Amino acid sequence: MTRAEEIHFDGVRVRYDSAKSYDDLVAALLADIGEQPVPIDEIGATGGDWETYQRRVEPYVGPSGFMLFALLDHGAWIGKAGIERKVLRVILGNPLIAITMLRHDQTAGLFVPVEMLILDENGSSSLTYVRPSSLMSVEDNAQLRSAAEALDVKLAALAAKVTS
């Protein structure tokens, strides 16, 4: 019989309110991370060593160190349930940053790439994410915690930049 192990931990949600419109906030984020998802699986499937992989990935890295992996437009379908809001889930990351965590604990892969949620707030907007270190470091692992906290700083800088 298979046994499931449960580990409880607390995530920390971070929200940045913005005076920008929803569309302007989305545009600001995509201007930094790219407007088209990176073909990360295709890049990984090609031959070569780590250095070759790095060279293939680096052109996709935006000014803040991240790239777009996927967009999920919840606003496109929640209207069918009577909720008229703009809601966009953005999956972003950088495998060259992710490896700094995954080398210490591969279960950190549950939380990289990271996600942001952009909401329309009646004419203004907000950007919300869960602080990566609050999700990844559930056990005592100083190297993982340090790498995850470095990601926290980079993500906070991106959020502050695009929401201001």
Local confidence pLDDT in tens for the 164 residues of the chain: 788 888 878 899 999 999 999 999 999 999 999 999 999 999 999 889 999 999 999 999 999 999 999 999 999 999 999 999 999 999 999 999 999 999 999 999 999 999 999 999 787 899 999 999 999 876 789 999 999 999 999 999 999 999 99
As a whole number of angstroms, the distance between CA 92 and CA 70 comes to 7
13-163 CATH fold:
TATA-Binding Protein (3.30.310)
What are the sequence ranges of the domains in the chain? 13-163
Task: Kindly give, in sequence order, each residue whose CB lies less than 8 Å from that of residue 88, ignoring residues fewer than 6 positions away.
Answer: 26, 71, 72, 73, 74, 75, 117, 118
